[in-house]
Amino acid sequence: MLKPLFQFLSRMIGKASAALGKGVGHSSPSHEEVFLAGNQGKEPSADYFRALFVFDNVVRECIAVSRQYGGIQAPSTRHFYASVLFTALLSRSISLIILAPHSPWAQKLIEHWDYASAAIIVRTMIELRAAFHYLCVDQTSDEEGHCRWNLLCLHDCCARLKTLEAKPSAPEDVADLESMAEGYRERLKANRHFVTLRHQQRLLNGGSAYLYPIEDILERAGLQRSTYKFLNVVFSSHVHGLPMSYFRMAEEERGRGLPSPIEESNTTICLSLASVLLTATRDEVHEIFKGLSKEQAPPT
């Protein structure tokens, strides 16, 4: 399925390469000219460097934690997805620390200020934090646990179906996924927790991954509902390239890659929030894997 996409992208890259330098009227700037133009402005504030210092240390500590528990055979689904989601959260964190201006993780031609990209990464981290708490930390009955798991599987099937329907694919692949989705629907209908819910039909459509709104999950995970709602509006405008992400760029001195008060303050918020999300998850990983070792075999 991906082969036609790669072929299309290869053709487009070829066209872009052939068009380099045509109709521009002047040559591209050298790296030295980019360096001179891009390294402008004052040094960032102490607040920014403090946020960068904390995040750098948190990321490095979490790498050590990941290595500490790496290689342990997961005794339960909870342990397995705690490992998966913590790894995903840490991977995003490394991307963010590399992106951050004046980061000790990267040698750059210029210090490029782009809080919009930082916001996109942190928004993903917020959602991974919610998934971690929902799947690995939140205490539930066995019935609700099975209900949550089957709903996640149904959402996954429906998302994969949408992917296949968007591109020509083998009919048998679609049929297999449709059959799997129907199986998860039947399991949900037979689940004693699911039948107590008022929004059953909406969940059976497969568009929702969670039983509850994400702001409810995040509040239980330690992020205030009002804070999430505010950040989600701001961050989502950059994820989707909505007008709020590019209106008033000149007046607010942002979005140009250059240092400015708003670029610095918003990047500081992103780094600080990422530190909070990562440390909370790190503490829960310690609790989940307490007492387990690499030599310990999973229960039979």
pLDDT, tens digit, 9 for 90 and up, residues 76-103:
999 999 999 999 999 999 999 999 999 9
State how far the Cα of 28 lies from the Cα of 270, in Å rounded to an integer. 33
Element (H, E) at 237: helix 225-239
Alpha helices (H) along 19-114: 31-38, 46-69, 77-99
- In this prediction, residue 300 carries a pLDDT of 42
Phi, psi angle pair for 113, to nearest 5°: -95, 115
- In this prediction, residue 167 carries a pLDDT of 72
Highest mean pLDDT among 3-12, 147-156, 228-237, 254-263: 147-156
Closest to 35 measured CA to CA, from 95, 116, 107: 107
- In this prediction, residue 250 carries a pLDDT of 78
Chain mean pLDDT for the chain: 87
145 pLDDT exceeds 50?
Answer: yes
Q: Could you tell me the pLDDT band of residue 38, with boundaries at 50, 70 and 90?
A: low
Residues 186-193 have a mean pLDDT of 96
The alpha carbon torsion through 215, 217, 221, 224 (nearest 10 deg) reads: 20
Q: Are 258 and 39 in contact (CB under 8 A)?
A: no
257 pLDDT exceeds 90?
Answer: no
DSSP summary character for residue 136: I
Residues 200-219 have a mean pLDDT of 95
Predicted TM-score of the model (pTM): 0.85
- In this prediction, residue 297 carries a pLDDT of 45
Give how far Cα 144 sits from Cα of 43, 124, 197, 199, 221, Å: 52, 26, 11, 15, 18
Residues 30-47 have a mean pLDDT of 73
pLDDT in tens, 153-180: 999 999 998 888 777 666 777 888 899 9
The pLDDT > 90 percentage for the chain reads 64
- Domain chopping of the chain, boundaries: 43-139+213-289
Across 164-168, 244-248, 277-281, least confident range: 164-168
Cα–chain center distance at 260: 26
